[in-house]
Amino acid sequence: MTPLADLLARRIAATGPITLAEYMAECLLNPQHGYYATRDPLGAAGDFTTAPEISQMFGELIGLCLAQSWLDQGAPRAVLAEAGPGRGTLMADIWRATKGVPGFHERVEIRLIEASPVLRQAQAARLAGAPVQWLDSLEALPEAPLWFVANEFFDALPIRQFQRAGNGWREVVVGLDGTRLTPGLTPPAPLAELADRLADTKDGDVVEICPAAKPAVGAVCRRIAARGGAAVIVDYGDWRSRGDTFQALENHAFADPFARPGLADLTAHVDFEALARAAHPLAASRLTPQGALLQALGIEARAARLAQGMSPEARQRHLAALRRLTDGDEMGTLFKALALVPSGAPMPPGFTPAPALVEAAR
């Protein structure tokens, strides 16, 4: 039993089962025992790896995409913000790649939204010399034109999970079997938030919602709507939440999410439709597979350029990284990107506008 499992078991014994969102929040961000609060989980020696850690090309292309969008909107004084920057690799690659963009480094300041003190240190080391400040939440962003990026941030936000029962829903909660943490289901009840999902689900289907996503997107998009800018959000997931995607990763392998709380990474797929709706009145791009986006941004040419002068071994690794980022059976289609811009503004390069969502934000 981990120290956090013990703590949660005592809390559940005293006050009853907790939602998956409460469980996930404790596991990831409990100040003493939380997964992100206590470690750097990234890379080969960690539990999982991410696109910017796989190749510098990811951050370079995203950086040029954001900088072009900034030029398209008149190159204003602006904030470049990233949520959940991990080791700071994506932002370091963005910053290096945009060095030659006229005015960008003079007129743009970086804000990083990071909950983990361990990772803040890693980010400070990677970004030494760049104009960086850290913020505790997206609400704390200044009221300024904003170019925003997040890779594998929204998948770390706590979710609630529901199973359809007739015209109601049973919520997945974490309870106790003896002293062991175990998932269970509440009695069925109607749920206004999922009323629109009765049309496309059947008895027994599982649907997830991420309560923290809406205020997070809202804080970013209010600023973009008022002052200009763009958001580029990359993550695994799909246009609409369907099925149980709650998962634990430990040492690059799937694990039981209830076995070792605080010691495994917990994530769920991102429901991009919910993000696009929360971004109202911004215009959303089509949901674009990561592979297609990187191809459109010129990853093949960049890869060929970088390969010049590499040793055969380095070239092998480099081409494997290219495939990993773009191939359909690797990260190329599971990972998707969504861009959000003020309505009427051009989409960032690599993105095409989506047909307008029929109804306003839920």
Q: Which positions touch ligand SAH (CB under 6 A)?
A: 28, 36, 42, 50, 52-53, 84-86, 90, 113-116, 119, 151-153, 156
- Closer Cβ to ligand SAH, 50 or 73, answer by number: 50
Evaluate the CA torsion angle 232, 143, 361, 201 in order and state its sign. positive
Question: For residue 78, what is the enclosing H or E element?
Answer: strand 78-83
CB 279, min distance to ligand SAH, A = 19
CB 121, min distance to ligand SAH, A = 12
- Closer Cβ to ligand SAH, 92 or 191, answer by number: 92
CB 184, min distance to ligand SAH, A = 25
What letter does residue 116 receive in the DSSP assignment? -
How far apart CA 141 and CA 223 sit, in angstroms, is 9
CA atoms within a 13 Å half-sphere pointing along the CA-CB vector of 319: 9
CB 31, min distance to ligand SAH, A = 13
- Closer Cβ to ligand SAH, 25 or 75, answer by number: 25
- Closer Cβ to ligand SAH, 29 or 101, answer by number: 29
236-256 as b/e: b if 16+ CB within 10 A: bbbbebbeebbbbbbeeeebe
CB 119, min distance to ligand SAH, A = 5
Residues 6+ apart with CB under 8 A from 92: 59, 126, 127, 130
- Closer Cβ to ligand SAH, 50 or 98, answer by number: 50
User: Cα 85 vs. chain centroid, distance in angstroms?
Assistant: 10
